[in-house]
Structure 1
Amino acid sequence: MKHYSYDEWMQYVKDEIKDTDREQLENHLYTCDQCLEDYLQAITANETSLPVLSSENSFTDQVMAKVVPALVVPDTVNDLSTMETVRLVPDTNNTNNTNNTINTTSSRKKPFYQQAVFHYLLAAAATIVLMFSGAFQSLATYASSLETPQHVQEKKSSVTEGVINKTFAWMDSLEKKEADKK
């Protein structure tokens, strides 16, 4: 197995390497612990050259001002049918776009045919109708008829048994003829 040098890993970290060599180095990292250690040392040595954030809070505020996600939050823990939509909207009055206002709108309740209770009641009603119509009874009768055969087949002897029986009968007849001659 070929190991890569610390200098090659430093070039990889600084992005001073060709794409084909980059793929080889990345694939090699999956299999070699020694090169992984060299790679981690190269990252540690190179982290001082990375830009430093002056204020993490202002950076976060700037990123959040550019992101406008729509979040769906349940109104209460127990009632998931009522939902609130929360949208983060950038403040257009502020030039930095660092402050966000939250607009909430409640969505309507689901129609009755989309609620779980409706489906349970529908299943119960269908079960009761099938019970009173005798559908379950006919299914039970049909299943029991499949389990037990309606006519018992007669036990047929095999060809070998037939040949053996005829052979014994023939031998018995020969013995009888011999006995009659004496």
Structure 2
Amino acid sequence: MKHYSLADWLAYIEGKADAHQQAEMEDHLYSCAECLELYSTGIEINAAHFPGIQNQEFTDHVMNQITFAKGQGEEDGNALSQPHRKEKPYYRNQVFHYIVAAAATLLLMFSGVFQSITAIAGTIDSKTKNTSYTEGFITKTFAWMDSLEKNKEDDQ
């Protein structure tokens, strides 16, 4: 990767580089942090040569219109002092969500849904065997060992 010197970046900033070299340098800035730092240094060196704001009142007027258009302005004309906060709708409030969850829980509890679910779970639990995984594993292991011994006796 070709890096450019501070002199190259100063020539670029001052507009003294040809069009082809300017395009290459612009593409290079996207991928090289070192040259970006040199470019920033060149900008700081030439900051005194850049034109300043001629009419500050015009800029302030435009900025005030932008902030008033966004609905952030205040009545005294100081649009940037405090932003306007919109109030959240009631359904976006946490308390509303807690109330809905509590109401749904009470409704399900008093309608008997939870009781029927526990009854169904009890019947399913009573239908299944109460054997542990260890007991099942031991039983299957002994059955496998017995089948190996039976096969060994058959071979003799």
**Normalised-by-shorter TM-score class:** 0.5 to 0.7
Structure 2 distance, partners of 1:123, 1:54, is: 60
Structure 1 vs Structure 2 CA RMSD? 4.4
State the match for 2:114 in structure 1: 136
Distance of 1:127 and 1:27 partners within structure 2 = 57
* Cα 1:4/1:69, change in 2 over 3 Å: same
Q: Normalized per residue, which structure has more strand?
A: 1
Secondary structure, aligned partner of 1:158: helix
Summarize deviations over 1:23-74 as a string: whole Å, max 9, x none.
33313532x2xx4553234223311211123564x25423224424323xxx
Between the two proteins, the alignment pairs up a number of residues equal to: 137
The one-letter code sitting in structure 2 at the alignment partner of 1:4 is: Y
Cα distance change of structure 1 residues 138 and 44 upon mapping to structure 2, 3 Å threshold: same
Q: 1:88 to 1:12 in 2, by over 3 A?
A: farther
Seen in structure 2, the aligned counterparts of structure 1 residues 118 and 88 have a Cα distance that, compared at 3 Å, is: closer
Structure 2 unaligned runs (5+)?
80-85
**Greater helix percent: which structure?**
2
Give the aligned residue type for 1:63: V
1:64 is aligned with what amino acid? M
Corresponding residue number in structure 2 for 1:63? 62
- Higher Rg: 1
SS of aligned partner of 2:46? helix
Cα separation, 2, equivalents of 1:54 and 1:146 = 83
Unpaired segments ≥5 residues, structure 1: 72-85, 90-98, 172-182
Q: What is the CA–CA distance in structure 1 between the aligned matches of 2:40 and 2:12, rounded to whole Å?
A: 11
Q: Contact 1:69/1:88 (CA < 8 Å) preserved in 2?
A: no
1:83 matched residue in structure 2: none
SS in 2 for 1:128: helix
